[in-house]
Chains A and B, each alone.
Chain A
Amino acid sequence: MSRIANPYDQEPPKHGILFLQALIALLFFVFFFRFWYLQIIRGEELATRALNNRLTSEDIYAPRGIIEAAGGELLAINEPYYYLQIISEDVKDLDKTFNYISNILQVPTDVLKKRYEEKSDNMRLFRPVILAEDLTFEQVSIFELQSFRWPGLEIKDRPRRKYFFGKEFAHLLGYIAEVDDEDLKKDTTFTQGDSIGKSGIEEVYNATLRGKKGTLQYERDTLGRQFLRRIVQEAESGQKLRLTIDLGLQKLLHEALIDKEGVVVVQNAKTGAIKALVSAPSFDGNLFTHGYLEEETWKLIRSDPRSPLQHRAIQSSYPPASIFKLVVAGLALEEGIITASDEIVCKGGYKINRRFFRCWRRGGHGNVNLSDALAYSCDVYFYLLGEKLTVDKISAYAKANGFGKKIGIGFPEEVAGLIPTREWKEKKFKQKWQGGEDLNLSIGQGYTLVTPLQVARYISALVNDGKMLHPFLVDGEPTIVDQNLELSKENLLLLKNAMIATVEEKQGTGRILRRKNLVIGAKTGTAQVVSWTDEMRRKKKSDIPYDMRDHGWMVSFIELGDEVYTVTVIYEHGVSGGVGAGKLANLALNYLIEQEKTSKLEQEKKKLIKMKLKKSDNLVLNKGKN
């Protein structure tokens, strides 16, 4: 090999070659370790992150448990609720599409466009915007039929609560609403958009009714478009609830109370089950389930002076009036202050400390014993007892027998009522308890307040051998004895007989309830709303302003076969217990009697059928033998 001399030609620089090789080695090792670090050491973590990137999940709403009345009649169901949404990125011609929707829904295009612009978000593509809610079935079918022509339009559905007897059961069932921030904080299993019971049974039994949400998983690209949708977990629907409420009775009483204010509680005294619980006036529970409640409707309901939202059976407390005489009588018997046969003379009033306390009957009742005093509701008899017992004993006894504290039926809006004491009055009014107030207390007027449900529970206990049962609304709940009344068996019987006398005696205030051959007992009461002046007393009852008219109480029980039912009625501004409230009680009693008759007939039918079946069985057997 010859080599031509060239002054500039030299061997390649040796260090330079080494430099290049070193750089190659550097390149290899730096990236070898970087690859190792990212793909092997952190590989799993980054793979998970890649998975989270693409997989998104969505809730599948669980149908809420349905609610039935005692006879299996549906009260609350879930109906599909349709809405129209638009994904504008998939729409070919937005203007034409809006015109098309406008034609079907009879909503001006401008309104649709406005809705669309308000809700759409330019930053997030392929996000559906809800254009119209609560579509009718016809509208849905038109959209579905034409869907291939209008890409980007979608009909979606969600379960929504529907109450068949919205007004009859409004207070009882309550309503559901979308969870708010507080609910979300309290229970982390809720997510935005979930429904939650906000009052009544829907609230108390929310955990049972709500079911379990399912999960839908799908892949998503950066634009939010979805692929490969699949259900990872099926939704579990909520459990069914059957109430103890008799639909027919509830409806009947609700209708009777339309345009009135008051409460009727019908309770099975042997079990504690509530058979009817009507609070009037009412509202339509369906108003709240539409997902949105129009501001005006809401205002109208809230500002209604008759306060339809108030659940009067537990949320309102009333003076017990003469109903309280049962409690005072019981205490007096237990204390041995009187016996059943002790008589006093009622001259129409009683004077203490220079103050005259009237009996409601100006002429007086003459000679009365305990039974007469209860049956005629003689005030003077109880003034005497009150004077002897004083507030200390009466209040303690009333509290010991379930008044003045919450029953704990579950509804958070329940109030405790009020049983006054000396300490309470001093604290509240900075005044000492006056002797005369003992008398007022003993006839259930003054400060004392009770809820209709408390009264119902007490009366039921009286006719259930003194066992005070916890009222319940949902079928299958155990019978719980809240407590035993502080009354001996003899005294219980005395009070019960006095209640029967109230119905049976000619002068009895509950005579309106009397029926032949049936054991019915009652006690009436007239709760003063305001202290009546003498002038008012002279007036005709119909001339007194509505707001000042007295509330009428009528508590009663009826024995039907093996069952004993109590019917507790308070009729606001119904003047006196015997009349208005009595009519309502009569309705309930009639219903109960009719029901008893039909069920007896049915039982007999069944027996007959059984007997016939047995006979035919025997025939078949005999034939076989032959």
Chain B
Amino acid sequence: MSVGNKTIFQYINWHFLILLFLLFCIGVANLYSASAIRLTEGLVVTSFYKKQMVSGLIGCCALLLFMIVDYKHLKTVAWPLFFVTLFFLILVPLIGVKVKGAQRWLDFGIMNFQPAEMAKISIILLGANFLSKEPEPLGFQKFFIICAIGVIPALMIIMQPDLGSGLSVFMILGGMIFYRGVKWKVLRVILLSIPIILPISWFGLKDYQKERVISFVNPSSVSSSNELYQVVQAEIAFGSGQFFGKGFLQGTQSTLRFLPEKHTDFAIAVFGEEWGFFGSIILLALFCGFLYQIAVVAKDAKDLFGSCLAAGVFFYFFLQIFINIAMVLRLMPVVGIPLPFISYGGTALLMNLSLAGLVLNVSMRRFLFK
């Protein structure tokens, strides 16, 4: 007990915080450019970037909140939160708001709220709680139990339908399981079952989801579809940046509106167009550094619960970064997943900063009781 509460702030992971700040600033700047539209009068910038900054400020409060409260208390809320999440997920198909054919939102008057996001946090807490109690790598029994727990919210989200979020929930948990480690025999069975599960899951997809996959595998087969237009324009935007890019606010693909969803899911295409290979690599390096710092926090955590929490957050960010960039750059079918800190979206930013707070929380307290 040599380290008191007053001094834990000394142990803040500044590398992580600085990287976080840089990514947020790049995100706002890019959003400024991405929301610029060429009209006859000249370049007009819509107010997305301002809203994002306001969300950032609110997010900072959330970050502080998640940082200050000792994370050990989260163990006790893990299960209750899980059940509350399931409750909300049940509510979605009953009273949810329908947007573009999918019921994903709950309207709480002051704000709309996506239970799927809540499920991600919940699964991180519950997973960390469950996994940290295991003294050794998981055997078959524990593996199936934790998987079963994860599958329930994941499937409910997929039914909404929101394939991206549903799979994310499941994959975050999966990442955490592998982080904790499974017994060798379990791993073998998992690897063998992949080729069986994949074709079966194809039939579970909705038509528009199948179309995304087909357009990805064979672009010419659905040449008329909106999806293809989107990814082709994104590819043109990103690639046309060449080495040094066209410069800030100079992206023609974005200002002349050839690029759809440019301020949300496809924001990195705008970035690539204006900053080129040079800027894109720097952004990629920043993301890698950001993830590396989370991994460092996971490694240095004082207990397995903290370590697993950090790992959960790691997967949360890793999956979003990987899937989003891969989708924009045509390495994957289109799934609506934003790029953390770069894409516009208040709720997502709030979530991201909260989880960043959680990482700082674990990091600050790494020397306690050690």
Contacts and interface: CB of A to CB of B under 8 A. Distances in A.
B is bound to A:
yes
Interface of A: 1, 3-4, 6-13, 15-17, 19-21, 23-24, 27-28, 30-32, 34-36, 38-40, 42-47, 49-51, 53-54, 219-223, 225, 227
A20 B314 CA distance: 8
Contacts of A24: 288, 291-292, 295, 318
Contacts of B325: 31, 34
A53 B236 contact: yes
A28 B285 contact: yes
B40 A227 contact: yes
Nearest to B37: A221
B242 A43 contact: yes
A10 B304 contact: yes
A23 B318 contact: yes
B154 to A, nearest CB: 20
A43 B239 CA distance: 5
B11 interface: no
A47 B290 CA distance: 31
A39 B277 contact: yes
A49 B256 contact: no
Contacts of A27: 284, 287-288, 291, 318, 321-322
A6 B236 CA distance: 56
A222 B253 CA distance: 9
A40 B369 CA distance: 52
B38 interface: yes
Contacts of B311: 16, 20
Contact of B257 (A13, A21, A222): A222
Interface residues of B, number: 59
A3 B292 CA distance: 27
CB-based closest 5 A-B pairs: A46-B239, A43-B242, A16-B179, A50-B240, A221-B256
B298 A16 contact: yes
B298 A32 contact: no
B252 A54 contact: yes
A590 to B, nearest CB: 66
Given A31-B284, A50-B252, A12 B299 contact: yes
Contacts, number: 158
A54 B259 CA distance: 12
A53 B243 contact: no
Interface string B263-276: 00000000011001
A50 B253 contact: yes
A578 B108 CA distance: 107
Contacts of B180: 13, 16
Contacts of A38: 235, 238-239, 272, 329
Given A8-B133, A40-B277, A19 B284 contact: no
A282 B272 CA distance: 68
Given A39-B277, A50-B253, A53-B252, A17 B298 contact: yes
B240 to A, nearest CB: 4
Contacts of A17: 295, 298-299
Contacts of B304: 8-13
A interface SS class: helix
B84 interface: no
A51 B322 CA distance: 29
B77 interface: no
A621 B320 CA distance: 102
A43 B298 contact: no
Contacts of A54: 252-253, 256, 258
B301 interface: yes
Given A39-B276, A227-B38, A44 B258 contact: no
Contact of B307 (A4, A12, A39): A12
B21 interface: no
Given A34-B331, A40-B242, A44-B242, A19 B179 contact: yes
A44 B39 CA distance: 27
A565 to B, nearest CB: 64
Contact of A46 (B39, B235, B256): B235
20 contacts: A8-B304, A13-B180, A13-B304, A20-B298, A21-B292, A30-B331, A31-B284, A31-B326, A35-B272, A35-B280, A35-B284, A38-B272, A42-B239, A43-B277, A47-B239, A50-B273, A54-B258, A219-B252, A221-B255, A223-B257
A16 B181 contact: yes
Interface string B49-80: 00000000000000000000000000000000
Given A39-B243, A47-B240, A53-B253, 11 more contacts: A10-B304, A16-B181, A17-B298, A21-B295, A24-B291, A27-B322, A30-B331, A46-B236, A50-B252, A220-B256, A221-B258
A47 B258 CA distance: 13
Nearest to A220: B256
Contacts of A44: 242
Contacts of A219: 38, 252, 256
A21 B135 CA distance: 23
B369 A50 contact: no
B127 to A, nearest CB: 13
Nearest to B252: A54
| Residue among B243, B291, B299, B305 with max Cβ neighbours from chain A (10 Å) | B299
B331 A8 contact: no
Contacts of A40: 242-243, 277
A481 to B, nearest CB: 63
Contacts of A15: 181
B350 interface: no
A472 to B, nearest CB: 54
Contacts of A34: 325-326, 329, 331
B323 to A, nearest CB: 11
A28 B298 contact: no
A39 B241 contact: yes
A234 B349 CA distance: 53
A18 to B, nearest CB: 10
B258 A222 contact: yes
A333 B369 CA distance: 139
A36 B322 contact: no
| Residue among B243, B277, B321, B326 with max Cβ neighbours from chain A (10 Å) | B277
Contact of A35 (B135, B237, B277, B307): B277
Contacts of B253: 50, 53-54
B87 interface: no
B281 interface: yes
Interface in B110-142: 132-133, 135
A376 B51 CA distance: 107
A11 to B, nearest CB: 8
A21 B280 CA distance: 21
B178 interface: yes
A26 to B, nearest CB: 8
Contacts of B307: 12-13, 16
B178 A19 contact: yes
Contacts of B235: 38, 46
Contacts of B287: 27
B261 interface: no
Contacts of A49: 236, 240
Contacts of B294: 20
Contacts of B277: 35-36, 39-40, 43
A261 to B, nearest CB: 60
B370 interface: yes
B162 interface: no
Nearest to A47: B240
B303 interface: yes
Contacts of B256: 53-54, 219-222
Contacts of B241: 39, 43
A39 B242 contact: yes
A27 B340 CA distance: 15
| Residue among B38, B135, B294 with max Cβ neighbours from chain A (10 Å) | B38
A53 B369 contact: no
Given A221-B257, A222-B258, A50 B299 contact: no
B287 to A, nearest CB: 7
Given A35-B272, A47-B239, A50-B236, A3 B370 contact: yes
